[in-house]
Amino acid sequence: MNSNRKTAVIEGNNQESKMNATTSSLIRWAGLSAMVAGIIYAVVVGMFHQPNILSSVTTTQWAIVHVFATAMCFLFLLGITGLYVRQAKEAGWIGLVGFLLYSLSWALTAPFTFAEVFILPLMATEAPALAEGFIGIFTSSAGESNFGVLANLWTLTGFLYMFGGLLFGIATFRAGILPRRASGLLAAGSVLSLLAALLPLEHQPKVAVPVGIALAWLGYALWSERREQASILPRS
């Protein structure tokens, strides 16, 4: 009986160790996803996104930037999930609300970036007036075509991005597990996104840079932390 109990305990410990190792590995990859997405957001989107005007839509640069931006949205969803799971208990209800709002903002952004790659260039060629109306969703300018529902949805996405990033940054700062300077930059950068409307069209994408740096920083911290933990796990 004692032998059987010992065997059961050993097997239980082994299973728990394997589950912990798997969880650690998933969170580590989530950190890498956040890091890559943050770099894309800061560099590709922040520095190379062209003005939201009709002449930009059919260029190769526009297509490349928005292909990266579409992939970035999904990488952010995975990365933010890992950041939240790592500090769920310490982040409290503010962290949960921030996580949900911020994740929803990126989930809603993905279809728009997809449309900018595969639909908008065709519209610009075949129906320029319709394309101008679609671009007006992002510039808050009225065109001949009315995209009222989509325009309202994009406005909602902006509020989710700002408040979700602010709350998630504050919760991460208070949790004290991941770098506080990075979480403070995330909170501040999310609020500073309001300044985009005051900037010329060619400079508006640059408001993405602080948020991108913050999320890449947090992702690196999570990835490197889990890598160090994985290196000391016992080998079976």
Average pLDDT over residues 121-131: 92
- Neighbour-count burial of 208, counting CB atoms closer than 10 A to its CB (0-12 exposed, 13-18 middle, 19+ buried): buried
Res. 232: pLDDT tops 60: no
- Does residue 147 or residue 79 have the better pLDDT? 79
**Residue range 178-206: average pLDDT?**
92
Going by pLDDT thresholds of 50, 70 and 90, the confidence category of residue 148 is: confident
Residue 200 has pLDDT above 80, yes or no: yes
pLDDT at 76 over 90: yes
The pLDDT assigned to 15 comes to 52
Average pLDDT, the chain: 87
Residue 160's Cβ-count burial label (10 Å; 0-12, 13-18, 19+) is buried
User: Residue 177's pLDDT is what?
Assistant: 95
d(CA 41, CA 66): 11
Q: What is the pLDDT of residues 17-71, one digit of tens each?
A: 444 556 677 888 999 999 999 999 999 999 999 999 999 999 999 999 999 999 9
Mean pLDDT of 132-157: 84
pLDDT reading at 236 higher than 80: no
Q: Which residue has the higher pLDDT, 109 or 141?
A: 109
